Structure formats: structure tokens, C-alpha cells
Amino acid sequence: MLTSCALVSWQQAAPMTGIPSSPTLSLPAFPQTGGCQCGQVRYRLTAPPFVLYACHCTSCQKQSGSAFGLSLWVRKNDLHVSGSLSSMQRIAGSGKRVTCEFCPECGTRLFHTRARPGQTLNIRAGSLDETGWLVPAGHIWTRSKQGWVEIPRDALTCETQPENYDALTARWQEMMQNGA
Ligand SMILES: [Zn+2]
Ligand SMILES: [Zn+2]
């Protein structure tokens, strides 16, 4: 059974001087571009995303072949894709059905979309051409994170699946204001 838990809000175990209350996010100029490893699929993102977070669930570890997934939520209308995509469906850690899209040539996973029609989708953020500006607003499914991964103690975290993403998107807004 999945249990939802409240996102932990900002806490300071000890006074930390010179450290802002939330990280700074310096958004790049848009559009930003990205694509798969072989270049068959290319995309253009024309507006800033809603939020970026890291997911440490075992499914994201499996999918990425790495330690966690980086989900960048954007409006569908802001994403323009060229090339052909293949897809598969799976049940996410949230219990929702997700359509996963990838390049049929090289297999790079690019987009995750909830099967129910929505206005947003998530880009696997490592597929962007420029990744230097990415700072996750929080970390979810930390219960299954790999032992070596150190999450900053000021980070928003959730042990499993958060009930909603309100705290994450609020943190993302703060981070953008810090960088403005
Ligand atoms: Zn490819
Ligand atoms: Zn995940």
C-alpha cells in the first residue's frame, strides 16, 4: 500500500550563515532545446517549467539506469517535438498510469505523461542540452534512495509519494525569486 506523507518544510538544524532560505535558481533564456542520445528526436521548450524534482523510487532508478529520475514539469503547449517516439505504459509510484515516451532508435527516455489527458507532461531533465541551471525543488521517494546519495538537509523531502506537489511548486517559485 502506498502511504502519502506531508512534505517536510524548511528546517534548519543549526544556524547556517550566508545560506539562503531556499536555493537560488537562475533560469536560462527560453526556448531551451533537448533531445535523445542519437539525435533522432529533438525538442524545444518555449517557456519555463512549473517545477523540477528528483524521484528516488526504484522505478526511476530502473528507468534511468542510475540513482534517481529528474522530472521537469512543463505545459504541453510549450513543448515542440520533432522526430518519432515510441511509448510504453506503466503504473507509477503514485499509482497512476503513465505513458513513457522514448526514442525508438537509441531508447533514450524523454517524456512521461499521465494517461488521463492533461495539460502538462514531464521531461526527463537530463535530456536537455543545457543542464547546468537545473536545481531540484525537492526529493521524493527518499525511502528508496541509494545510500550514497546525500540530500541537502535544507531540501524538501518526502519519504514516499507526496499527496500533491503544492509545496514543491511553491519552493520552485521561491527559488526563482532568489535568482531574479
Ligand atoms: Zn535517439
Ligand atoms: Zn520515480
Domains (ranges, CATH) in the chain?
A: 29-179 (3.90.1590.10)
**Residue 152: per-residue pLDDT:** 86
Distance CA 175, CA 154 (A): 13
Around ion ligand 2, residues with a beta carbon closer than 5 Å are 55, 57, 60, 69
Pair 30, 49: CB distance under 8 Å? no
Question: Measured between alpha carbons, how far is 128 from 141 in angstroms, rounded to an integer?
Answer: 23
pTM of the model: 0.86
Our CA angle for 106, 125, 147, nearest 5°, is: 95
Quote the mean pLDDT of the chain.
87
- The stretch 89-94 carries a mean pLDDT of 80
Point out the ligand nearest to the CA of residue 38.
1
The predicted structure's pLDDT at residue 155: 87
CA angle 29, 71, 53 (to 5 degrees): 90
Per the model's pLDDT, the better-predicted residue between 178 and 15 turns out to be 178
Q: Which ligand is nearest to the CA of 86?
A: 1
Report CA(110)–ligand 1 centroid distance (Å). 10
**Of the ligands numbered here, which is closest to the C-alpha atom of 93?**
2
The span from the CA of 163 to the CA of 94, in Å, is 9
For the chain, the distance separating the N- and C-terminal CA atoms, rounded to the nearest angstrom, is: 42
